[in-house]
Structure 1
Amino acid sequence: MAKSRNNLLGVGGQRKKLSRAEQQGANPARNDDRKAAEDKKQELVRKMRERAATAQAAPAQDAPADS
């Protein structure tokens, strides 16, 4: 059976069902969750960069000096 070009039901992915209040922007909790997740990600990236920096600095300090 050929696919109908007139029936576009389901095309474009799925969307979250929003209540009227959410459609009007009355859901600040969702934005707070996104901000909290972004803050956690930034903290994790900062820690990873600090560890990488200390790992690069440690071999230079531990290397024996040729005198």
Structure 2
Amino acid sequence: MAKSRNNLLGVGGQRKKLSRAEQQGAGTARNDDRKAAEDKKQELVRKMRERAAAAAEASPEQDAPAGS
């Protein structure tokens, strides 16, 4: 039987089976890792925005026409 490209059933993967402790809110170290990764991402985004803002402030001074 040929594979159907239009049938996306099951494409999302499977959910992880949660232990009783995880169901009650006492997550594993994986939750701490996820939080640390999110914090690093937020810090990186903040730095990139600061650099973009600094570049945007410096840009208009260089783009101004000298003869007009």
Give the TM-score range, shorter chain.
Answer: 0.5 to 0.7
- The total of aligned residue pairs comes to 57
1:9-67 Cα shifts (integer Å, max 9, x gaps): x7x85111222332333225233222212211111111111111111112223356558
Q: Does 1:57 align with 2:57?
A: yes
Over the aligned positions, Cα root-mean-square deviation in angstroms equals 2.8
Change (3 A) 1:48 1:37: same
Deviating above 6 A after TM superposition, structure 1's stretches of 4 or more consecutive aligned residues are none
State percent identity of aligned pairs. Answer: 79
TM-score, with structure 2 as normaliser: 0.55
* Unaligned stretches of 5+ residues in structure 2: 1-9
* Unaligned stretches of 5+ residues in structure 1: 1-9
2:6 maps to what in 1?
Answer: none
